Amino acid sequence: MSRELMQQNIEKAQCEIDSKKSVVKNGKMRQHYHFMPQTGWLNDPNGLIYFKGKYHFFFQHNPYHGFWGSMHWGHAVSDDMLHWEYLPLALAPSEIYDNDPRGGCFSGSALEHDGKLFLMFTGTTNEGKGFEQTQCIAYSEDGIHFEKYERNPVLTAPEGIPTDLFRDPKVWKHEDTYYMVCGASRGNKGQALLYRSKDMFHWTFFNVLAESRGEWGYMWECPDFYPMGDKYVLTFSPMGAGEHTSVYLVGDFDYETGKFNCHVTGEIDWGFDYYAPQSFLAPDGRRILVAWANGWEWMPLWKDWGPTYKEGWCGSFNIPREVRMMGDGTLQFLPIAEVETIRENRKHKDELVVTEKETELTAGDGVCFELKLNIDLEKTDADKLELVLRCGEGKKTACLLDFKNAEMSVDRNEADGWSRGISRSVMYLKGKKELDVHILSDQSSLEIFTDQYQNNHSNNIFAGDAQNQLKIRAYGGRVVIRKFESYGLKECFK
């Protein structure tokens, strides 16, 4: 009966999607090349995997409304991570452990096991004792139609862990053993708990992989753990840690003891809208990272999450990024190379000298574009460089590179009437001869990458088509740009 109930709930939700998708796709704030739902709400990326010749993205989804609630798992496949085919919903609330209007099938991950595609997810419900979160399994022969394991849940919160702060399993295999890291909270401090299994169904606690001493918030959401070279990387989104939305730790890991010793810490992104990143391996060996282009910590800065809910949808993913490691153990996060396949209308200059007189630049249609600058720091004597993006009708977003104080900031207070806040980060310029800047603009987002893709800002900007001007100026001297390139970017969603 439970299998039938999930199928009935999936069919009901699919009817809702099908009845609205033709209207929703014409929304003025819809993205052009960033992944988004056909209708309704999207948050965390889930179950990212390359399976049977396709990239599979699953996602936290409320198909009924442009607000969070009653979590389902949406599903789409792609050949290039830019053009997507939407598939039937993979999971819907249907069981005592997940069938709650303020719960459902929360975040998790995917793994191929015995030729099947397995999903591990957090079931969330409230049976009168407060919210309870447990770890559950579903599986599929074809990677499209899923069945929940009849003996779910396979794991409950350990003693001392609040039952509503135990979620987001990320699973992987090493040699003949399966491992899983899960987010938790103990003593009001965030933790990543490590488990292991021989069959994917029976799990035992192994170790506390890492935990906050107070600096990284009270709960670690969406932890991920993977090797890079001879090191291991732990990422998570800490709740209650202020401006820190997505953190990475790099160190050594011992499979015999389950101990992780961290040596390097860093930020994946300093913007307001980068949260819950999850990674997977592409078939060519690249480690690809995908995140939700929003963030719970910033909800008070929005009014109803911006205007998109009025169009029947809310939420998109940031552009997928390739993770690379530098010689000092810090990480880079580069937009995937596939973006190059949607470029058009290239413009370039071998050298551009920017003065205190504001200059207008051209990049695509000014809404959907890519911009790359290489700043010659040795020839630059200005204190600051300002890029005014998505400018028009008295609105703008300002990116300021402060060379004197080695700081970068993105100000969206005048962007659109909805967005608020200035995101800031430190630029490490000492001894450097150049500074690279790479910008991806879409209808409702700006992603700005600098300093070899180690200093990044992702921010939602709900700007109209008339906000299509790009301006640049220097303060206190000249800025010499060694190379300037811009492109329009073709639409992927139609």
Residue range 139-177, pLDDT digits in tens: 999 999 999 999 999 999 999 999 999 999 999 999 999
44 is catalytic: yes
Q: Of 334, 358, 376, which residue constitutes the final position of a domain?
A: 334
Same domain flag for 328 and 360: no
Question: Both 205 and 146 in a single domain?
Answer: yes
Domain residues for 429? 339-489
Structural domain count of the chain? 2
How much is the average pLDDT of 407-431? 93
For the range 337-342, what are the long-range contacts, defined as Cβ-Cβ under 8 Å and sequence gap of 24 or more? 338/80, 338/81, 338/82, 339/33, 339/82, 339/370, 339/440, 339/489, 341/80, 341/82, 342/33, 342/82, 342/489, 342/490, 342/492
Sign of the Cα pseudo-torsion (37, 346, 283, 199, in order): negative
Token pair listed for 415: 């962007």
Q: What percent of the chain shows pLDDT beyond 70?
A: 98
C-alpha span between 312 and 38 (Å, rounded): 9
Q: What is the pLDDT of residue 203?
A: 98
Residue 234 inside a domain? The answer is yes
> Using 50, 70 and 90 to split pLDDT, how confident is the model at 241?
confident
Does residue 27 form part of some domain? yes
Q: Is the separation of the CB atoms in 414 and 393 below 8 Å?
A: no
Q: What mean pLDDT do residues 90-109 have?
A: 96
The average pLDDT across 23-44 equals 97
Residue 200 placed within a domain: yes
Distance CA 412, CA 389 (A): 10
What's the CATH number where 217 sits? Answer: 2.115.10.20
Report residue 370 as tokens: 């890519």
Residue type for position 82: L
Question: Is residue 304 scored above 80 in pLDDT?
Answer: no
Q: Looking at 18, 44, 350, 381, which residue is catalytic? A: 44
Which of 334, 366, 385 is the last residue before a domain boundary? 334
Tell whether the model's pLDDT for residue 477 goes beyond 90: yes
Evaluate if residue 1 carries a pLDDT over 90. no
Per the prediction, the chain carries an average pLDDT of 95
Residue 107 lies inside a defined structural domain of this protein: yes
Pair 356, 416 in one domain: yes
* Single residue among 305, 334, 363 that ends a domain in this structure: 334
Q: Does 349 score more than 70 pLDDT?
A: yes
DSSP 168-214: EEEEEEETTEEEEEEEEEETTEEEEEEEEESSSSS-EEEEEEEE-SS
Which pair of structure tokens corresponds to residue 11?
A: 């069919």
Q: Which residues contact 130 (CB under 8 A, 6 or more apart)?
A: 163, 164
- Rounded distance between C-alpha atoms, residue 387 and residue 198, angstroms: 54
Please indicate, yes or no, if residue 145 is contained in any of the structural domains.
yes
Long-range contacts at 282-288 (CB < 8 A, ≥ 24 apart)? 282/50, 282/55, 283/50, 286/322, 286/336, 287/226, 287/228, 287/322, 287/323, 288/48, 288/81, 288/320, 288/321, 288/322, 288/323, 288/336
Residue 302 has pLDDT above 60, yes or no: no
What's the one-letter identity of residue 142? D
Same domain, 343 and 469: yes
- Which residue, chain included where needed, has tokens 């007189």? 357
Query: Token pair 């992944």 is at which residue?
Result: 35
Note whether 190 and 87 are same-domain residues. Answer: yes
For the domain that residue 393 is a member of, what is the CATH number? Answer: 2.60.120.560
Question: Six-digit token pair at 67?
Answer: 């607000």
Q: Do 429 and 449 have their domain in common?
A: yes
pLDDT of residue 463: 94
Backbone angles phi, psi at 21, to 5 degrees: -65, -35
- Do 278 and 427 lie in one domain? The reply is no
pLDDT at 435 over 80: yes
Structure tokens at 299: 């909800």
pLDDT of 295: 80
pLDDT above 90 covers a percentage of the chain that reads: 91
- What's the number of CA atoms in the CB half-sphere (13 Å) around residue 372? 16
Task: For residues 78 and 185, state if they share a domain.
Answer: yes
CA dihedral in degrees (173, 174, 178, 179; nearest 10)? -100
Shared domain for 374 and 408, answered yes or no, is: yes
166 with 60, same domain: the answer is yes
Q: Does residue 494 form part of some domain?
A: no
Domain check: are 29 and 133 in the same one? yes
Average the pLDDT over each of 3-7, 276-280, 372-376, 394-398 and give the range with the smallest value. 3-7
> Would you state the pLDDT for residue 81?
98
**Residue 300: which pLDDT band, with cuts at 50, 70 and 90?**
low
Examine the domain organization and report whether 31 and 99 are in the same domain: yes
Q: Which pLDDT band holds residue 301 (cuts at 50, 70, 90)?
A: low
| Pair 237, 245: CB distance under 8 Å | yes
